[in-house]
Amino acid sequence: MSGFIVSEIIIPVIKSVAVALFPLVMTVVMIWMERRVVALIQSRLGPNRVGFEGVLQPIADAIKLFFKEDIMHRGADRSLFNLSPVLTLFTSLLAFCFVPLGDSINVFGYTINLWVAESPVGLLLTLGISSISVFGVIFGGWSSNSKYPLLGGLRSVVQVLSYEIPIVLTVLSVVFFSHSISLVDIVASQKAEGMWYAFYLPVSFIVFWISAIAETNRAPFDLPEAESELVAGFHTEYSGMKFAYYYIAEYTHMVLASSLVVILFFGGWLPPFPNVEALSFLGYVPGFIWYLVKIMFFLYVFIWIRATFPRYRFDELIRLAWKWLVPLSLANVMAIALVRSLG
Amino acid sequence: MSFKDIELNMGPQHPSTHGVLHLELAVDNEIVTRVKPFLGYLHRGIEKICEQRTYQQITPLTDRLDYLAAISNNLAYLLTVEKLAGIEVPRRGQYIRVILTELQRIASHLAWVGFFANDIGAMSVLLYGFAEREDILEIFEEYIGARLTVHALRIGGVPHDLDEKIMDMIRASLGTIPGRLADIEGLLSENRIWKHRTQGIGVISGTDAIEFGLTGPVLRATGIRWDIRKDIPYSSYGDFEFDVPLGKNGDVYDRFQVRIEEIRQSARIIRQALDRLPEGEIRAKVPRVMKIAPGEVFHSIEAPKGELGFYIKSNGTDRPERVKIKAPSFINMHSLELMCTGSLFADVVGILGSLDIVLGEIDK
């Protein structure tokens, strides 16, 4: 009986809390890392006062935001204005349900899978749920009843609509190899192949990565919140914790995008070259650590790109999606389908 | 709801209006149909205050016009007063003035590159530009004690001679300029996104530029060769060899290239001036109470932003009767409507940035 309670109630509850906390912890790490790395690239110091090398700076920021006045201006649509940040954060956290953070581990005789839910259509669900969060952005921009947020919201509609297509098309090319759209199976099939899919599908990886940056509204595609044009874009009117929700959601999306890239193209929790005998000692490092190292690398690339590139203009962004990425990913999918059906 | 003709108020509180400029934009699906600047948020009545100050006391007021290029303002004012009073500045003083103003031009252009790139979204360039600018501001600090509103020149010459330490600092700073410019250009010049955002944007033809009275790098980017340092030399600029960089298309990209090249040419001028610094006095004898016989005069110089001119009318007392400032930012800004109409909203920021306006000078 007690075994049942542990395996069916306690472990799932702990896992759910842990998976909900994981993106939040990563947000804290990322805020610090982003500011320090950008400072490093720009040859300045960055926050280094609060705690060791400024690691407590995000905590201090969070406390500040928590105690800020929560302003809602008179023209705003009350219910939608309150709902949007919650919607954005909630859906982006929810998408983590299906993301495997590592291999199964054994603790006190119980086998624990490092994912909350395993679904045969996990990939579709993850993409679908994370896309819902764009409604939070649109509603946030709309319900603010103010011009800059409205323009930011409008931009994000078009941007997300455009970049969903190459994302789904590139994901399709991965599915041709894995024969499954469960995220766990996709990683497992990379183990069976003995190779990360990024080496089989370099074009898919690049298209997916570019689209993922665009989906997360990060530089150089950060048009919905283009600071120098739209002040702060869709969250101009938000303050206090509601602003913090958007802020956390943005980082959560970055972690999610990195996780998807790692799972689809870089073998998730697998060590490099899992089937090579000489490198088998790498397998002693826990899978979660490999996963963490890999997503940290991609999160670093996010920051690196932001510090280096100018911002795209809106029409060029759309042109990039429809004239380059969509045809490229279509041709890619067809070529891979042809190769797979012949081979 | 229709998205035609949204009226947007850009500023006076907006991250990229470079101060307190207020633009009223009409946007039709992100395409700009009307631009109307509103001025005066920084109006301090400097021209009127000048009428109540003695000629010496006006110099620090001019620092507050274009606060990114205070020494250029000083020089423009002082040359006008000296022309009115018939004061001859000693050659060494003239050379030191040239060194200081060209350093100021470099500092101003570097600040511009940084802010402009930041407007387009390249955030790191700001810091690269400011690193070099910081060295120059430290030179000013060593020379006069202030960094921004320096008040570094005096009627009749300069207050201090350049000592060895400052000359070494200047030489060291000139040595780091090529590397830092290479960093900036490496990030921007051949970057596809940067070219997309700047080439063919905010185009103005040479004829239009002259009609609008544009001066400075904005005019030279259209291919018209007009540089007062070359064409009407003042303060012994005739002694130095330098090129006047020109653009071709009159777009935002050319303005960027022209300014980057001007930094190199300014460095060239400073190097020549340091090498050939003449011996002698640095300041002419000027009476403490300076009364100037009735008369009026206009004199202009090539400031970093364009042609900066002062008109001064004297009435025999120690205060001017009227001071009128011809501010390049004010005139250049008027071409904004021509350049922005029909372009995308996102480009307004880039075009505005490329004009290099300073509100202290526009509102006076």
ipTM: 0.78
Is A309:B191 a contact under the CB 8 Å cutoff? yes
A313 to B346: CB separation less than 8 angstroms, yes or no: yes
* DSSP 8-state class, residue A179: S
**Residue B168 buriedness (CB in 10 A; 0-12 / 13-18 / 19+):** exposed
Residue A110: strand, helix, or coil: strand
Which structure tokens are listed for A8?
Answer: 């069916």
B6 to A147: CB separation less than 8 angstroms, yes or no: yes
Rounded to the nearest angstrom, the minimum Cα separation between A227 and chain B is 7
Domain-embedded: residue B10: no
A308 interaction partners in chain B (CB closer than 8 Å): 122, 124, 187
B14 to A227: CB separation less than 8 angstroms, yes or no: no
- For testing contact with chain B, the best of A77, A311, A317 (most B CBs within 10 A): A311
Find where tokens 């040419």 sit. B265
Which pLDDT belongs to residue A315?
81
Task: Extract the residue ranges of chain A whose pLDDT is less than 50.
Answer: none
Domain-embedded: residue B14: no
Which of B124, B345, B346 is facing A41, going by the closest CB pair?
A: B124
User: What is the extent of the structural domain holding B257?
Assistant: 45-331
A314 to B15: CB separation less than 8 angstroms, yes or no: no
Which of B8, B15, B30 is facing A228, going by the closest CB pair?
A: B15
- Report the residue of chain A nearest B9, measured CA to CA: A147
Q: What is the 3-state secondary structure (H, E, C) of chain B?
A: CCCCCEEEEECCCCCCCCCCCEEEEEEECCEEEEEEEECCCCCCCHHHHHCCCCHHHHHHHHHCCCCCCHHHHHHHHHHHHHHHHCCCCCHHHHHHHHHHHHHHHHHHHHHHHHHHHHHHCCCHHHHHHHHHHHHHHHHHHHHHCCCCCCCCCECCECCCCCCHHHHHHHHHHHHHHHHHHHHHHHHHCCCHHHHHHHCCCCCCCHHHHHHHCCCCHHHHCCCCCCCHHHHCCCCCHHHCCCCCCCCCCCCHHHHHHHHHHHHHHHHHHHHHHHHCCCCCCCECCCCCCCCCCCEEEEEEEEECCEEEEEEEEECCCCCEEEEEEECHHHHHHCCHHHHHCCCEHHHHHHHHHHCCCCHHHHHC
Look at chain B and count its residues: 364
B124 to A227: CB separation less than 8 angstroms, yes or no: no
Find how far residue B69's CA is from the centre of its chain: 6
Tell me whether B196 touches chain A (CB under 8 Å): yes
Q: Give one DSSP letter per residue of A33-100, joined into a string.
A: HHHHHHHHHTTS--S-SSSGGGTTHHHHHHHHHHTS-----TTS-HHHHHHHHHHHHHHHHHGGGG--
B8 to A148: CB separation less than 8 angstroms, yes or no: yes
B128 to A43: CB separation less than 8 angstroms, yes or no: yes
| CATH number for the domain that contains residue B304 | 1.10.645.10
How many C-beta neighbours within 10 Å does residue B348 have? 26
B118 interaction partners in chain A (CB closer than 8 Å): 228
CA-to-CA distance for A286 and A288, rounded, in angstroms? Answer: 5
B131 interaction partners in chain A (CB closer than 8 Å): 43
**Residue B277 buriedness (CB in 10 A; 0-12 / 13-18 / 19+):** middle
Domain count along chain B: 1
Which of B14, B127, B345 is facing A42, going by the closest CB pair?
A: B127
In sequence order, the 6+-apart residues with CB closer than 8 A to the CB of B76 are B62, B299, B300, B301, B303, B308, B309, B310
Domain-embedded: residue B202: yes
Domain-embedded: residue B250: yes
- Report the residue of chain B nearest A311, measured CA to CA: B121
Domain-embedded: residue B107: yes
Domain-embedded: residue B223: yes
pLDDT single digits (tens) A68-93: 888 888 888 888 888 888 888 888 88
Gyration radius of chain B's alpha carbons:
21
Which pLDDT belongs to residue A227?
64
**Residue B248 buriedness (CB in 10 A; 0-12 / 13-18 / 19+):** exposed
Tell me whether B121 touches chain A (CB under 8 Å): yes
Calculate the alpha carbon distances from B44 to A191, B41, B306 in Å. Answer: 72, 9, 22
Is B104:B73 a contact under the CB 8 Å cutoff? no
Tell me whether B15 touches chain A (CB under 8 Å): yes
pTM: 0.85
CA-to-CA distance for B239 and B232, rounded, in angstroms? Answer: 12
Which pLDDT belongs to residue A81?
87
**pLDDT tens by residue, chain B, 364 residues:** 455 677 888 878 777 767 788 888 888 877 888 888 888 888 888 888 988 888 888 888 888 888 888 899 999 999 999 888 888 888 888 899 999 999 999 999 999 988 888 888 888 888 888 888 888 999 999 888 888 888 888 888 888 888 888 889 898 888 888 888 888 888 888 888 888 888 888 888 888 888 888 888 989 988 888 888 888 888 888 888 888 888 888 888 999 989 999 999 999 999 898 888 888 888 888 888 888 888 899 999 988 988 999 999 988 888 888 899 988 988 888 888 888 888 888 888 888 888 888 888 888 8
Is B160:B144 a contact under the CB 8 Å cutoff? yes
Q: Which of A342, A283, A317 has its CA nearest to residue A157?
A: A317
How many C-beta neighbours within 10 Å does residue B186 have? 11
Rounded to the nearest angstrom, the minimum Cα separation between B199 and chain A is 13
CA-to-CA distance for A100 and B129, rounded, in angstroms? Answer: 45
Q: Which of B302, B306, B310, B308 has its CA nearest to residue B354?
A: B306
First to last CA, chain A: 51
Tell me whether B293 touches chain A (CB under 8 Å): no
Q: Which of B62, B81, B61, B66 has its CA nearest to residue B299?
A: B81
Rounded to the nearest angstrom, the minimum Cα separation between A275 and chain B is 41
Asked if the peptide bond before residue A220 counts as cis, ω within 30 degrees of 0, the response is yes
Residue A106: strand, helix, or coil: strand
CA-to-CA distance for B330 and B336, rounded, in angstroms? Answer: 11
B124 to A42: CB separation less than 8 angstroms, yes or no: yes
At residue A324's C-alpha, the angle toward residues A320 and A328, to 5°, is 145
CA-to-CA distance for A249 and A214, rounded, in angstroms? Answer: 15
Alpha-helix residue ranges (DSSP H) falling in A95-146: 122-143
A313 to B197: CB separation less than 8 angstroms, yes or no: yes
Instruction: Spell B62-88 as b/e; 16+ CB within 10 A means b.
Output: bbbbbbbbbbbbbbbbbbbbbbbbebe
Which structure tokens are listed for B235?
Answer: 């303060």
Residue A283: strand, helix, or coil: helix
Which structure tokens are listed for A103?
Answer: 């291999």
- For testing contact with chain A, the best of B13, B18, B113, B124 (most A CBs within 10 A): B124
Left (φ > 0), alpha (ψ -120 to 50) or beta: where does B306 sit?
left
B8 interaction partners in chain A (CB closer than 8 Å): 147-148
Tell me whether B16 touches chain A (CB under 8 Å): yes
Domain-embedded: residue B3: no
Is A89:A238 a contact under the CB 8 Å cutoff? no
Domain-embedded: residue B85: yes
